[in-house]
Copies of this chain bind each other. A is one copy, B any other.
């Protein structure tokens, strides 16, 4: 969707409008790019989280990012069908399905990270390093000031 769609038709030069417009463009472009490795952004995110916490349960992994258990089932199902993730029984608690990356999962993740890096470059193509730094700093300032992020917006599941 365009920024307009989310913001109504207010003047296109407002900061709010520009932020939505550019942010949505960045998200959409990334979704397009990451599809090259048969992933979508939520799956790529979960793959990253599993990599960072291998052996954890589904719910433990979904917990910190407001993904409810039923959604975790669906996401891990998809990763498993693609052969990227394994559910292993946990000998300590037979209710738990501990998550591990497969070899293929690691390779997809690595490729996904390359794509993310390329996306970053694509998005900032034509900008000077100074401008990139400026923009990053200003956006980071907004994130801090608006208290965007971790746990602040409970509705923002994914």
A interface with B by C-beta (< 8 Å): 1-10, 12-16, 18-28, 30-31, 34, 41-42, 44-45, 47-49, 52, 65, 112-113, 116-117, 119-120, 123-127, 131-132, 134-136, 138-143, 145-146, 148-149, 153, 155-158
- A-B contact sample (4 more), CB < 8 A, given A6-B27, A18-B139, A127-B138: A15-B123, A20-B26, A23-B23, A123-B146
Max chain B Cβ within 10 angstroms of own Cβ: one of A2, A42, A134 = A2
Oligomeric state, in copies: 2
Partner of A10, one of B113, B123, B140, B145: B113
Identify whether the interface residues of A are mostly helix, strand, loop, or mixed. helix
With both chains docked as a complex, state the minimum distance between the C-beta of A74 and any C-beta of chain B, in angstroms: 14
Sample 8 A-B pairs with CB under 8 A, ordered by A number: A15-B124, A16-B120, A22-B142, A22-B143, A22-B148, A25-B148, A125-B145, A127-B141
